[in-house]
Amino acid sequence: METKLCGIKLKNPTVLASGILGTSKSLLARVIGNGAGAVTIKSISFEAREGHKNPTVIAFEGGMMNAVGYSNFGVAGALKEFVNLNELEAPIFASVIGTEAEDFVKVVEGLKGLDFAAIEIPLSCPHTPGFGTLAGQDTPEKTFEITKAVVKKTKKPVFIKLSPNTKNIGEVAKAAEKAGASAITAVNTMGPGMVINIEAKKPVLDFKVGGVSGPALKPVAVRCVYDVYESVKIPIIGAGGVLTGKDAVEMMMAGATAVGIGSGIYYRGIDIFREVCSEISEWVEKNGYKNLKELVGVAHE
Amino acid sequence: MSELPEIVKIIKITQENPCVKTFFFDKRIQAKPGQFVMAWIPGLDEKPFSLSYVGKETGITVEEKGKFTKRLFQMKEGDKIGIRGPYGNSFGLKANACVVAGGCGIAPLSTLIENLKNPFVILGARSKDRLIFEKRFPNAKITTDDGSFGEKGFVTDVLKNVLRDRKSEVIYTCGPEVMMKKVFEICESHKIGCQASLERYMKCGFGVCGQCEVNGFRVCKEGPVFSSESLREMKGFGGFARLKSGERVSVSEYIQWRCA
């Protein structure tokens, strides 16, 4: 089950996706204790942010939808919360957000002293003004510019997290690779979508729209990973609707080296990581593969 | 699976004291003692509230504090709000119980009391006009900080006396966190199990966002009721809570923010 991602050793390929449970060191420790191969913190901006008003997270028949709006305690809070991350028994990935390239750089430099194994840069949030797709960060040009600026300022591997809504995700991935990204995380939430309560005659999310995740996102995510795999040589963290070991195998066949799990926690609880891993093992054994590496990208052959 | 609010009608409102009302809904919710719901006022906000009535009637008992509760207090019978849930764990039912409630803390404890056999109930408030449910639980021992009703003093003083005279196997508590912390310390020194219902700022209510985290515990999922084993590990109990941004502050600073 051991997986190597940009030179980082993971005891298995499951990664806690950013935005879910990544608010504190003790919660990260708990997720690791439940089998995650690596964990990603909730995204950090330079200044603290309150995010959108409730309701911010809902679940509908096909998945989850959120418009949390990047609430986070900022760099100052992160420096207090994420101390001595080396004590945890798996690599921790930072997640860094900003509006302009220099905002990302400011956060990356602010977090320099913390023991993050890599830095993820989401350029793909669909529900926060000033960030992600609402700030046009999902174009190849902006992706190149921001990636380049961040890579220049850190020795750590930089993962660029892409949006499933982009017309040509392969081109965006290429821009990130060309700018020096070490890996691609595919994908962020989809949409935005909307759920209207017909009795209240109003959207349920206070921000009205939110990013769609969970089962509804999975086929889109698999296609995105497939497209990115065709476009770049750097490894891919495949995320979007992974609930079971078979979902993870599917992501790997599309081209993912590691798999992100987020909304799955709603469906199966925190120990989803352990369960998915044992389900992957079972499948791999039954189907005669020697290791996970052999699985990556086989759908392209 | 879905976690979407369902619109319910407010069918009855009772004034419990000058700042507390109970809102009853036209929907039955199957819930265990201690569980909570997320109440939604479309266009305003969504907040967690313990169910204070479950069974024949369904209701939440609310203190008027911030923007959300002020708007709720303007509502009349026939008005509608959204409800989702129930969420969280529940009190574990045990015999020979003592229940310690401070102020609005009686809300989650009231359905528990109705499910216990002869519990000893201590009901405390700042003053006579702040008491809640003293008529609903006529056998309760009442304390007020200023002595305007019942015994003058704190619920914790009464608890110490009760433990001297009465064999108790578990103490259930809800109220201001400083009070619960004191109750827990008394339980520890008497080697009695404690179950405390905590409150933190919440978003999803179903265990994915991490907003209500305290030392790795999700108050909305592993809580809101925590027993001694967990409380011992929770440095944040009586210690810290998170603001909307996730920033850790002292519980007293958090309460100031919540009431602003």
Give the tens place of pLDDT for each residue, A196-211: 999 999 999 999 999 9
pLDDT score recorded for residue B155: 95
pLDDT at B260 exceeding the cut of 80: no
| Termini Cα distance of chain B | 35
Contact B38 A80 (CB under 8 A): no
- pLDDT of B81 above 80: yes
Complex prediction ipTM: 0.95
Q: Which of B3, B84, B208, B220 to mutate to test the interface with A (most CBs of A within 10 A)?
A: B208
- What is the per-residue burial (b if ≥16 Cβ within 10 Å, else e) of A156-180? bbbbbbbbbbbeebbebbbbbbebe
pLDDT in tens, B160-219: 999 998 889 999 999 999 999 999 999 999 999 999 999 999 999 999 999 999 999 999
Q: Choose the closest CB to B2 out of A59, A68, A270.
A: A59
User: Taking CB atoms and an 8 Å limit, are B210 and A20 in contact across chains?
Assistant: yes
Compute the distance between CA of residue B243 and CA of residue A201 in angstroms, rounded to an integer. 30
- What tokens were used for A46? 């330079």
Q: Which residues from chain A sit within 8 angstroms of residue B46, using beta carbons? A: 54-55, 206
- Picking from A25, A26, A81, A206 by the largest number of B CB atoms within 10 A of its own CB, the best residue to mutate is A26
SS3 A208: coil
Return the amino acid letter for B234. Answer: M
Partners of A97 in the beta sheet? none
Residue of B nearest to A195 (CA): B4
> Which pLDDT band holds residue B1 (cuts at 50, 70, 90)?
confident
Chain A CB contacts of B203 below 8 Å: 54, 56-57, 68
Q: Are A255 and A56 in contact (CB under 8 A)?
A: no
Report the pLDDT value the prediction gives residue B258, as an integer from 0 to 100.
Answer: 83
Residues in chain B whose beta carbon is closer than 8 A to a beta carbon of chain A? 1-7, 38, 40, 42-47, 80, 82, 203-204, 206-211, 213, 215-216, 218, 242-248
Which residues of A are part of the catalytic machinery?
A: 125
Residue B2 in this model has a pLDDT that exceeds 90: no
Q: Is A34 on the interface with B (CB under 8 A)?
A: no
Q: E strand or H helix at B72, and its extent?
A: helix B67-74
Instruction: Enumerate the residues of chain A whose CB falls inside 8 A of the CB of residue B1.
Output: 59, 61, 266-267
Q: State the fold for domain B6-87.
A: Elongation Factor Tu (Ef-tu); domain 3 (2.40.30)
Low-confidence ranges of chain A (pLDDT < 70): none
> How large is the average pLDDT for residues B52-74?
96
The continuous run of DSSP H or E covering B162 comes out as helix B155-165
- B248–A73: do the CB atoms touch at under 8 Å? yes
Are the CB atoms for B211 and B246 separated by under 8 Å?
A: yes
The predicted model gives B102-106 an average pLDDT of 96
pLDDT score at A16: 98
Residue type, position A54, single letter: N
Dmax over CA atoms of chain A, in Å, equals 55
Residue recorded with tokens 């023991």: A115
- At residue A206, the pLDDT reads 97
Going by DSSP bridges, is the β-strand pair B141-144/B120-125 parallel, antiparallel, or unpaired?
parallel
- The strand pair at B20-25 and B151-152 is best described as unpaired
Span(s) in chain B for CATH 3.40.50.80: 97-259
Q: Which one of A22, A56, A81 has the shortest CB-CB distance to B203?
A: A56
| Domain covering B97-259 in this structure, CATH number | 3.40.50.80
Among residues B178, B189, B177, B182, which one has the least CA distance to residue B158? B182
The confidence score (pLDDT) of residue B50 equals 97
* Whether A87 contacts chain B with CB within 8 A: no
DSSP secondary structure code for residue B65 in this structure: -
Of the candidates B1, B2, B208, the beta carbon closest to that of A21 is on B208
Q: Which fold has domain A3-54+68-191+212-300?
A: TIM Barrel (3.20.20)
Q: Give the pLDDT confidence score for residue A190 in this predicted structure.
A: 97
Domain boundaries, chain A: 3-54+68-191+212-300
